[in-house]
Structures are given as C-alpha cells and as structure tokens.
Structure 1
Amino acid sequence: MSKRTDGARRAARIEHALKCPVCGNPIRVEEDGRLLCRDHHSFDFAKQGYVNVLTRPAGGHYNKELFEARRRIMLDSGLYAPFHEAAAEWIRQMPVSDSRPAVVADIGCGEGTHLHRILEKLGGLNVAGAGLDIAKEGVQLAARDFQSAVWLVGDLAQSPFSDGSIHAILNILSPSNYDEFTRMLAPGGRLIKVVPGAGYLRELREALYTDERRTYSNEDTIGLFDRHFRRTETVPLRYSVRLERSQLEDLVRMTPLSWSPDPEAVNRFLDRESAEITVELDLLVGEPRD
C-alpha cells in the first residue's frame, strides 16, 4: 500500500470530523486518494501521505532544518517525555466510544513527534489522531515517518475540522484560535494548551541574551486562555534533562530563541560537552465557556 493510499485510509476513519475549508460542507474521502465535497472542492493526498487543504499561500519562519532538529532532539533525548506521558494520561481518562473513534487533534503539530508519541501511549484505545500545521515542511516530515495519524497542511483560521467533532485538542507551545477551538470541540471535549513556564529553557535564554528576553512570563497567555475557556485542571511539569553537545546544537536550531542573538553567544553556549536544561511547562485543560 502506498503512503498516499494509506493516508487516505486513515483519513476515512475520521471522515465524520472533516469538512471542506472552502465552503464548509461535509467532505468525503475518495478511494483514489483525495478529499472531495459536494461542491466539488477537491484536495489530493501527496505521495508522502499528507493532504494540503490550504486555501491560500502561506509563509513562515519555520524551515526543514528547524523541524529536523526538533525531531532528533525529541526522539533521542526524552526532552518532552514527561509531557507526553502527562498528556496521554489525561486523554486516557476521557470516555471513548466503542464504535466511532475519538479524535485527538494536534493544532500546530509541526513535524508530528508530540502527537505520535502521545498516540503511542494511547495504544489500545479507540482514538484517531490528526495533526494540522500551516508549515508544509513540518507536515511532510510527519507523514514521511509517522503513519499513526492523519496529517494536514492547513490554516487554523480555516480549519478542515467539523463543528463538535474533536474530543481533545492539543495546542502545544503554539498560537491559539479560541473561537475555532470552541467550534471544533465535541460535547464534553477538552482543550489541552501547553504554555512555557518562567524557567523553560532558562539556560539557553540566559546564555543568549542580556536584555528582557532572559526572562519570560506566561501571565498574558494564561489570562487569554482563562477569558475564553473554563480551566478544569492545571498540570505543572518541572524537570531537567542533560543534553549532549550534538543535542545542544539541535536545541539551538529548533527554537526561535536563537534567531536573533549574537553569534558569539551561540558559540559560547555550544562550547561544552553537555548541559542540564530546564523544562518548565503548564498544561492548561479547559472547556468552552459558551
């Protein structure tokens, strides 16, 4: 079976959760490997197994090198392993039907490792994963290596997910659209938004900057979440991971923190055999207020 055909097969499992991003009508997964709505808007699966549902060109700062670095560090170092376990444990507590699979959607999925790892830990449950990102380079990597989910290149503002169709939304260190999240969530569904804490990657911030970027506050982000969603739980994660030199290089490549500092500061940070790196994350779990 080709990746294109396999991608369409996985999409057929969540056909009930998909809509046309152009007209909003229900969408059908065709056997020839495309999505088609009744107004004949059509989106073909690529040979890698993903489908591009963007309705207009999109640009961004994230490139293939960044996504490859993020992939390596997540697979090799366990940098986010405690988060993957915590997210899976929370989703595992949700009621899941024996018939139609519950859909877990990672909005801003990047190269797909977060969703892939979480779905691995949910093995045995009747769940299906869907990853959406506007960056084609990231989704291509996800589809190339992970056959665990439906991978879509798309815009959250014109998402391909139907009203009330998503049981759990993951929004991991990524921008939010709370109106869309509210529309997409199924009754009883939850949003799991992951925000960095003040100590997140503290060692990197302190090494690269001498101004206000050395510190970070998530108060505004949490305040915006609380204005739109009723927070039902907060899961704080605080731990550190020792990274080797090559992993530190990938850490620098994968984060926007390294886009603008003095190159000499980057070189000084990397001039070490290993370093202890702080991970501080808050998992905000919530339900729509409306």
Structure 2
Amino acid sequence: MKKIERGARFVAQNKELFRCPTCKAPFSKVEKTTVYCIKEHQFDLSKKGTLYLIKHGVKSDYDDDAMWQARRTLLQAGFFDPIIEEITNQIGKRAGIKVLDIGCGEGSVLQRLEHKQADSSDRYVGFDISKRAINLATQQETAGFFCIADLADLPFSEQSFDYLIDIFSPSAYSEFARVQKKSGKLLKVIPNANYLGELRRLLYAENDEKHEYSNQKVLDLFYKHYPKATSTRIKYGFSLDDALFTALMKMTPLQWGASAESLQKAASQPLKQITVDVTLLSGEK
C-alpha cells in the first residue's frame, strides 16, 4: 500500500481524533486522498501520507535536513532508549491506547515506542512544525500517522489522547489539557543541569551564561498546571565514536551560540562519552 493510501486509511478510521484547524469542526469524511471537516474545509494528503494542518506560514530554526538526520542517527544508535524504556514502563501494557507525540521530529521516538508497546489496537500520531522532519518521519516503519501542526493550536479533538509525549518540546498547557483525556497523562521530559554537561563545558567558558543550565522555571510551570505530578530522574552515560559525536554536534542547539574557536576545538577533541541526565514528569488532570 502506498504511503498516501495508508495515511488516508488512518484518518478515515480515526476521524474522531482530529478537528479542522480552520473552523475547529470535526473531520467528517475522507474521499480518496482528501479530508473534509463537517463544514467542508478540505485538506489534501501529501504523497508521503501526511497532512498540513497549520493555518499560517511557519519559520523554524529546526527546519534543517542535516540536523534531523543527525538526530535520527543518534536515536537509532540508542541515545534515548533508557528514556523511551521508562516511558513505556509508565504507560504499561494497556490495549487500545491513543498516543500523541508532541514535536515528534523525525519520528524515531514514536517508532520505538510503538514497537515496544507492540499492540496493533494502539493509535499513534506524531506532529511537528517542521515539514522536513515530518517528511523524514514517514520513512519510519510504523503504523503511526504524521502531520505538520502547531502545538499552540492543536488540530485534535477534545479529550482524544490517553498519553501525550513531550520530549524537550515547548509546552502549550491549555491545549495539552484540552486534548488529554480525563484519565490521560502528559509525560514530559526535560533536561537536568548536567544534560550534555561535558559538551556544554567544552563549548562555553565558566563566565558564559550557557556554561550552566537550570530547569527550575520549566519545573515550576509544569507543577503549576499539574500540582500532583510525579517525577522520575533518568541518568546514564552514552558512548560516542567520532561519527556519533559529529551527529550530536549537529543535532544539539548547544552549538548555535558557541564561538568558531570553541567549535573548532570540539571538532579536534571529540568526546568519547556524554551524560544524559533528564527528568520525566508525569501529569494527570
């Protein structure tokens, strides 16, 4: 089956998950490769089986093919595997769950999560504001569906998802709460102070504001919206060869503000191991 046909079938079978980004009305039908809402606004599936569900033009610092490919290289090498393992532990073996991957990027997290859960009755939707990332995500071996969307104006129906997965993405908590089921959870991963600490110290001098990082403001905001939230720390070392270090440098926003001298120094002294130190926050309504 072609990707566009598979995408059309997914939307047709799961219309209740979506709403029109133009008028907020539910999707009503799929005719061939065109999706309609009940007010007859229409959206054409791309050849890759995706939908563009943003009302406005977008500009993103993350719309870079090489950066997304570097992220895929790292994640396929297992860079986030302990994080994904803990997410699956918290979800447990529930059949028929509906999962939304917020800022899914090139799709590796969604694909690996789906394969770990291994239940054909589950439904997975990933979205990102980057069209380049979503095009790359469609290369994954997954039954999930990908679309281009804005997290501040989600094209999804009220109380439609059991689990919202947010790994390092910004948050629009009012929108998240709207699409989160009453019994659902938001699982948000945020970096701790020593996340990629070796690279941060390599790129930035002690007197530079980027030499240190605090996630306190992000934590405070999460607990403001989810006062009864729980947290789990996940910390481990990840081994790097030269190719993986190059991919890490290309993937991380840490390199954006670094000086040319610091970047040259890092390239000549590639790290052999990096610390992954994050907190998984779990919030229920």
SS at match of 2:126: strand
Unmatched segments (≥5 aa) in structure 2: none
Q: Report deviation, 1:274.
A: 4.9
Q: Summarize deviations over 1:26-62 as a string: whole Å, max 9, x none.
A: 1034141222101111111111121111111011101
- Number of the residue aligned with 2:41: 41
Q: TM-score normalised to the size of structure 1? A: 0.93
Q: Does structure 2 conserve the Cα–Cα contact (< 8 Å) formed by 1:13 and 1:128?
A: no
AA aligned to 1:7 is G
1:197 aligns with 2:198: no
Distance (Å, rounded) in 2 between the aligned partners of 1:275 and 1:253: 16
1:194 is paired with a residue whose SS is strand
1:246 pairs with one of 240, 243, 246: 243
Q: Could you tell me which amino acid in structure 2 is paired with residue 65 of structure 1?
A: A
1:1-290 aligned at under 5 Å gives the runs 1-62=1-62, 63-76=64-77, 78-92=78-92, 95-96=94-95, 101-124=96-119, 126-210=121-205, 211-272=208-269, 274-288=271-285
Write the distance in 2 (CA, Å) between the matches of 1:189 and 1:212.
Answer: 38
CA RMSD, 1 decimal: 1.5
Rounded to whole Å, the distance in 2 between the matches of 1:124 and 1:209 is 45
Q: What is the one-letter code of the residue matched to 2:267?
A: L
Counterpart CA distance in 1 for 2:192 and 2:102 is 20
Q: Percent identity?
A: 33
1:124 deviates by 2.3
Counterpart Cα distance in 2 of 1:245 and 1:272: 10
Distance 1:147 1:12, change over 3 A: farther
State how far apart, in whole Å, the 2-side matches of 1:270 and 1:174 are: 27
Distance in 2, matches of 1:184 and 1:213, equals: 35
Point out where structure 1 has 5 or more consecutive residues left out of the alignment. none
1:259 Cα deviation after fit: 1.0
Q: Distance in 2 between matches of 1:67 and 1:32?
A: 31
Shift of 1:230: 3.1
3-state DSSP class of the match of 1:144? coil
- Matched residue type, 1:285: S
Are residues 29 and 115 of structure 1, via their aligned partners in 2, closer, same or farther at CA, if it must alter by over 3 Å?
farther
| CA–CA distance in structure 2, aligned partners of residues 144 and 46 of structure 1 | 14
Alignment check: 8 A CA contact 2:245 2:270 kept: no
Q: Once the 2 structures are TM-superposed, how far is the Cα of residue 125 of structure 1 from its aligned partner? A: 5.9
Letter in 1 for 2:76: L
Name the CA distance, whole Å, in 2 between partners of 1:190 and 1:243.
33
Shift of 1:71: 0.6
1:49–1:144 CA contact under 8 A, matched in 2: no
Tell me which amino acid in the other structure corresponds to 1:263. Answer: A
User: TM-score, normalized by length of structure 2?
Assistant: 0.95
Comparing 273-282 and 28-37, the one that deviates more: 28-37
Q: Which moved more, 1:48-57 or 1:22-31?
A: 22-31
In the aligned structure 1, how far is the partner of 2:231 from the partner of 2:266?
Answer: 33
**What is the CA–CA distance in structure 2 between the aligned matches of 1:44 and 1:144, rounded to whole Å?**
19
Deviation above 4 Å: which 4+ runs of structure 1?
none
CA drift at 1:111: 0.9
Q: CA deviation at 1:89?
A: 1.4
Amino acid at match of 1:160: P
Aligned residue identity for 1:162: S
How far apart are the structure 1 equivalents of 2:5 and 2:54?
A: 20
> How big is the shift at 1:109?
0.8
Rounded Cα–Cα distance in structure 2 between residues aligned with 1:252 and 1:14: 39
**1:141-174 Cα distance to aligned partner (Å, 9 max, x none):** 0013343311010111221110011110011101
State the alpha-carbon separation in 1 of the partners of residues 29 and 4 from structure 2. Answer: 12
1:164, 1:184 within 8 Å by CA — same for their partners in 2? yes
Question: Would you say how many aligned residue pairs link Structure 1 and Structure 2?
Answer: 282
Q: Which amino acid in structure 2 is aligned with residue 22 of structure 1?
A: T
The Cα shift of 1:231 comes to 3.6
Partner of 1:152, secondary structure, is: strand
